[in-house]
Chain A
Amino acid sequence: MKSSSTSSPAPPSTERRRSLARLAGLGCLLAAAPLAAQSGGMTPVAGTPPAPPLSLPDIDGKTVDLAAYRGRLVLVNFWATWCPPCRREFPSLGRVQKLLKPSELAVLAVNVGEEAETIFSFTGASDVTILLDRDSAVMRRWPVKGLPTTFIVDRQGRLALRAVGGREFDDATIVAQLRGLLRL
């Protein structure tokens, strides 16, 4: 876990105040009940183009390259902690990962523009691989129009499915779509 970039560590009381401020700031977005129940499937990507490159550090600083996952399905989720639907769907990323074998599906949650400390305060010890796209350079190379956006990269490295807005990724419809791709 990377430490804060400040020259001296903030005392716990200060950090707690910051956390509360962050949560207070989210309130203005969370106040609105979501329109959608975050269920439903994902949309096939027309033409199944090759997935753009994705090579980023994880939360421990180790570089993770999408190309290394060839032969598996990869769920690539672009998200941020301040994005309410991203927060709502995040637990389902871990659940869907457990529904399939590691040799079948990998989940990469690409956080956009935030520090590891901020991310960790939300995710805790998540089983999902979290990647840091600090300057959003990688996300700009992907066909992302808003957060959250999620892609399923097929075993040949192509963009097979896309979802804009929150989903529950362990929803039966999506799991059936994933199993369908594994049969191809």
Chain B
Amino acid sequence: MLMVVPVAAQSQSAWHGVQDGVEARATALTRPAVLAFYQARGFSAQAIAPYADACIFSLELHNTTKKILRLVLADWRAQTTAGTIRFRQPQSWEAGWARQGVAEPARIAFRWAQFQADLEFAPGDWIMGMAALERRPDGPFRLTIPYTTDRRRHEIILDQLACAALD
């Protein structure tokens, strides 16, 4: 069974869904907020600009079930009228930071501030992190979050998501 969370019940920048004891929240992050966060961690504005210009969400997952659940960020899908967009894998940013000579403390903070690519959640575990879509959708989109428990596939769907405005 899938639960589609109506956007009318939520704020304009945060979406929340529950599926059989698994909770998900996506919060759209503004460009100034992302810039401030990473500049405070040691990034130059120029280095972090490509990331801040992307469609960034703070993502949270909480496992309140009695089972271990597994999820892979590469499987998440943003479905728009023009097609499907995936989240860019966290490690793909890191090669760029190394090439640009971003200091190690900043790169460490970036690495661990991201929603991790491959996660296993025990009962009670919850985690949050940022993630960037591969490109900015033209309009609202549906986010499908697949996960597995006992090798059975489930999905949480968050509807009518939107990127934060760039300014």
Chain B interface residue number, banded: 35 or more
Q: In the docked arrangement, what's the CA distance between A164 and B120, Å?
A: 9
Q: In the docked arrangement, what's the CA distance between A167 and B125, Å?
A: 9
Give residues of chain A (141-180) contacting chain B, Cβ–Cβ below 8 Å.
145-147, 162-167
Contacts of A165 in B (CB 8 A): 62, 124-128
- Say yes or no: is B129 at the interface (Cβ < 8 Å to chain A): yes
Q: In the docked arrangement, what's the CA distance between A58 and B130, Å?
A: 29
Whether the Cβ atoms of B112 and A147 lie closer than 8 Å is yes
Q: In the docked arrangement, what's the CA distance between A36 and B126, Å?
A: 7
A117 to chain B, nearest CB (A): 12
- Say yes or no: is B5 at the interface (Cβ < 8 Å to chain A): no
- Say yes or no: is B94 at the interface (Cβ < 8 Å to chain A): no
Partner of B112, one of A31, A40, A83: A83
Q: Which residue of A lies closest to B104 (CB)?
A: A135
Contacts of A164 in B (CB 8 A): 121-122, 125-127
A residues sitting closer than 8 Å to B (CB atoms) are 18, 21-22, 24-29, 31-32, 34-36, 40-43, 80, 82-85, 112-115, 134-136, 145-147, 162-167
What are 16 contact pairs spanning A and B, CB under 8 A? A25-B39, A28-B30, A31-B33, A32-B25, A35-B23, A35-B25, A35-B60, A42-B124, A43-B122, A80-B112, A82-B37, A112-B108, A146-B119, A164-B121, A164-B125, A167-B124
